[in-house]
Amino acid sequence: MGDVNLKLLKEKCGEDNYIKLTALNNSNILEFVAKYVEVCNPASVFVRTDSPEDVEYIRNKTIENAEEKKLAIAGHTYHFDGYNDQARDKANTKYLLPPDVELGADIRAIEKSEGLDEINGLLKNIMAGKEMYIGFFCLGPTNSPFSIPAIQITDSSYVSHSEDLLIRRGYEMFKELGEKTDFFKFVHSAGELEGGVSKNIDKRRVYIDLKRDIVFSVNTQYAGNTVGLKKLAMRLAIRKASFEGWLTEHMFVMGVHGPKNRVSYFSGSFPSACGKTATAMLEDETIIGDDIAYIRNIDGKIRAVNVERGMFGIIRDVNEKGDPLIWESLNSPGEVIFSNILVTDEGKPYWLGDGRKVPEKGVNYSGDWTIGKKDSTGQEITHSHKNARYTVRLSELKNCDSNLDDPLGVELSGIIYGGRDSDTTLPVEQSFDWNHGILMKGATIESETTAATLGKEGVRKFNLMANIDFLSIPMGRYINNNCDLGNSVKNPPQIFSVNYFLKDKDGNYLNGIKDKHIWLKWMELRIHGEVDAIKTPTGYIPEYKDLKRLFKEVLSKEYSKEEYIKQFTLRIPENLAKIERITEIYKKKVPDAPHILFETLEAQKQRLEAVQKKSGDYVSPEALA
């Protein structure tokens, strides 16, 4: 490192913060920080260690900078993003790739040298007059086979505060790295601010350099674009896992409690608005994580950890009746950040679907708000944004599992794939084996859009493992990696599919809101061999007698044979149509799709056609028993 950079670093950091950096004894970190101090040109630099004093400094800065404001309940704050900065920017999130690298037709990329020139131009002097915050974190538990060190540079105290709630602190771990270069790096700036929010949204960019494990994010405040150690780090980790023989998945991890105080751990992957968090937060069960999991073969067992220690959850429809555990946390003293909700003069937050009367006025992401306020296009502005969020540590929840920070994670007994499907997939089904589960449950996920979110209802979107938005490797390679992990152990987890959205011919839902709890309880018994199942062409389904008993025990509800038959009747034409759709997608869009996928699709098609020939298009579970 040149003397000029060291001199600049000392000048911007001041003595105390410079000592914090040099105490890491890693010239690679010093060079990385010095480079972006020089490019971004902040007025000062603050280095955050794991100390309570440094954490408190960041919290105080969020208030001082007006990036957060206090609410009436102690420890609660709120943050507003810009009116047009309320979600992940998919169009401008791109991989920086050399000309000879291709990830797939559906994965956005930009030629690497062009992208670097653009991002470096945007970063030039972007922090002038502002303070730079440097944080050190650990993805996964610390001192663990799962641990990945990560460093975040940002000029947003809100982003730094959010990282502290969501991600484990890692400064002390960085001290053990020595001269190692194997860590993830993130550079973010909210850019020029106007009214406290990012002004130059037209220049919002999120660029990912896979070769150097760096993510750049500029001219945005929304956490999905800026809190790099969530979904942005996930993209880096998917690639890293692919080379090293493990998995990074868009999955919750939870404990399902069975007989005699037994706890069996499941992970689950669901597209947005398909019940992922609602499943992970079921009453009387315990949660390890609701979003991202690392999964490894450790000593012949498939084990998983939550990459994070907190939740950045969609707050819409969180209410006292439907989500009592989250509701309690959001209404009790403790550290919580609300974003893009409505705040009244009394310092009370409100959001869509909270079950309370909407206040007549308040402040929200659009400024001063009253009922009936419209935007520039004449559209009415809701009191809270549909993508409003809450950020909270999992330890604040009463159902937090005691193994959250276990360095070896938890052994997975089952893996669940779900989607929004009105006419094909049964409410719960077990795959025949690991490969069948990965290929027919995970690699064939389709999820229907909803009118509330996308304006057109019922359009099926293909979403491989509910992870397609975050893939940083070709799809075929990703499928093979999943198959390989399970095949590397003698007894892999059992794989299941669930569908909470099945309807009858009149458009009525066949599942109750709480029925998902029954499907999980059945899975837990099934993996321990304590209930039998009926074999169908697409997998194993429950027997009526077991569901009848579980509905009574868990929900105190009578479950009729008629309900069972309606829910678990095999819909052969719809299943055959899905196989045709999925086969076409892989043939057209995935040139490296593994041959075993097409073989498995064809075998399932033949089983369905054989039953169809014998029993017709719609087959009662009793006819299959």
Which pair of structure tokens corresponds to residue 260?
């005699």
Q: How far apart are CA 139 and CA 136, in angstroms?
A: 10
**Strand blocks (E) in 347-388:** 349-350, 361-364, 367-370
Task: Please say if 274 is a catalytic residue.
Answer: yes
In order of 371, 374, 439, the CA distances from 358 in angstroms are 9, 16, 46
Run of H or E residues at 236: helix 231-244
Q: What separation in angstroms does the CA of 274 have from each of 242, 519, 568?
A: 27, 15, 19
- ∠ CA 489-490-494, rounded to 5°: 85
Q: Which of 13, 40, 138, 274 is catalytic?
A: 274
Task: Show the tokens assigned to 104.
Answer: 């797939």
Give the whole-angstrom CA distance, residue 286 versus residue 292: 16
Tokens of residue 49, six digits: 């260690």
**Which residues have a Cβ under 8 Å from the Cβ of 366 and sit 6 or more positions away?**
83, 373, 375, 381
Nearest residue to 266 via CA among 144, 398, 426, 437: 437
Residue of 185, 211, 271, 228 whose CA lies nearest to 472: 211
Strand duo 460-462 + 618-619: pairing: unpaired
Residue 556 identity: S
* Tally of CB atoms within 10 A around 328: 13
d(CA 551, CA 428): 14
- Cα separation of 198 and 246, whole Å? 38
Let me know if 322 is exposed, middle or buried by CB neighbors in 10 A (0-12, 13-18, 19+).
middle
d(Cα 27, Cα 10) in Å, to the nearest integer? 14
In angstroms, the CA 269 to CA 571 distance is 24
Nearest alpha-carbon partner for 387 in 467, 451, 452, 471 = 452
SS (H, E, C) 290-344: CCCEEEEEECCEEEEEECCCEEEEECCCCCCCCCHHHHHHHCCCCCEEEECCEEC
Distance CA 182, CA 149 (A): 8
Strand 293-298 and strand 247-249: the pairing is antiparallel
Q: What is the spatial distance between Cα 165 and Cα 335, in angstroms, rounded to a whole number?
A: 8
Place of tokens 């868009």: 250
10 C-beta neighbours (distance < 10 Å), count: 16
Just list the catalytic residues: 274
